[in-house]
């Protein structure tokens, strides 16, 4: 009888262990599944650089809150956030210093360089100015224009503004509203679709044909590093910004 009791007891312990082991094994499988998602994997590949860019941006929250409305600041920031992954203050200073004079003297055809947190180019600002100047719907954004100055003086002012983060925020906000009007006929099914398109237009060029921008959305040609590293769609980083860091800017 005692042997029978012992055998039953051992059987119950063995069964309980097997159930618990299988339960833990299932939990472990569930826990690692998200990491096997290719989209998450692409984002995580550059998480260190993404976190660094976020750290830079959150230090500017005072100016962000001042320039952007709470209801749309995350979306507006997201479209240019990927460019911050490439920003380096030292390299930016050297490049801007060497190109500034050339641009002022000879214009964008001679020197059209990326500068600042959002890596804006003089040609991008000129395109914005041109679009706003020619469209009556943007009278409230006429402050973006540089009046009563010759070309060289206007270029000097443009470069001065581009060196200022607050001005880059203003340009980014103006771009958002220009994009909303320019692409108003597109039926975006979700906010993510809209962000993807606007981010691609920001990176690829908002003056390009709509079909080209749409096609370029899926182009895996962007990485935080200029070297031959793993590349993804520019807007993938924009969506990750919204999903991961929006809580900070919604405060």
pLDDT tens digits for 183-212? 999 999 999 999 999 999 999 999 999 999
Distance CA 128, CA 139 (A): 13
From the list 52, 59, 60, 54, the residue with the least C-alpha distance to 165 is 60
Q: How confident is the model at residue 41 (pLDDT cuts 50, 70, 90)?
A: low
What was the pLDDT predicted at 18?
42
SS3 185: coil
Q: In 139-222, where does DSSP find H-type helix?
A: 151-162, 165-182, 191-204, 210-216
Unique residue bearing structure tokens 């959002």: 118
Distance CA 161, CA 168 (A): 7
- DSSP-assigned beta bridge partners for residue 232: 222
Average pLDDT over residues 162-185: 97
Alpha-carbon dihedral sign for residues 157, 159, 162, 166: negative
Q: Is the pLDDT of residue 107 over 80?
A: yes
């Amino acid at each position: 009888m005692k042997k029978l009791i012992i055998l039953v007891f051992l059987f119950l312990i063995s069964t309980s262990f097997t159930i618990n082991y299988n339960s833990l094994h299932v939990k472990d499988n569930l826990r690692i599944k998200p990491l096997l998602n290719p989209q998450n994997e692409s984002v995580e590949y550059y998480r260190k650089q993404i976190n660094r860019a976020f750290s830079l941006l959150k230090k500017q929250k005072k100016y962000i809150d001042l320039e952007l409305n709470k209801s749309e600041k995350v979306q507006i920031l997201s479209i240019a956030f990927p460019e911050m992954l490439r920003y380096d203050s030292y390299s930016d200073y050297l490049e801007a210093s060497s190109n500034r004079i050339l641009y002022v003297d000879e214009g964008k055809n001679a020197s059209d360089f990326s500068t600042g947190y959002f890596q804006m180019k003089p040609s991008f600002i000129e395109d914005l100015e041109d679009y706003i100047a020619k469209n009556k719907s943007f009278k409230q954004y006429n402050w973006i224009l540089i009046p009563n100055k010759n070309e060289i003086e206007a270029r000097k002012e443009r470069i001065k503004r581009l060196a200022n983060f607050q001005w880059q925020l203003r340009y980014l906000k103006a771009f958002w509203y220009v994009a909303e009007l320019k692409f108003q006929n597109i039926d975006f099914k979700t906010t993510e679709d809209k962000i993807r398109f606007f981010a691609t237009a920001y990176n690829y060029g908002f003056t390009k044909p709509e079909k080209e921008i749409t096609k370029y959305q899926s182009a895996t040609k962007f990485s935080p590093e200029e070297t031959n590293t793993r590349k993804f769609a520019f807007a993938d980083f924009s969506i990750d910004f919204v999903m991961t860091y929006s809580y900070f800017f919604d405060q």
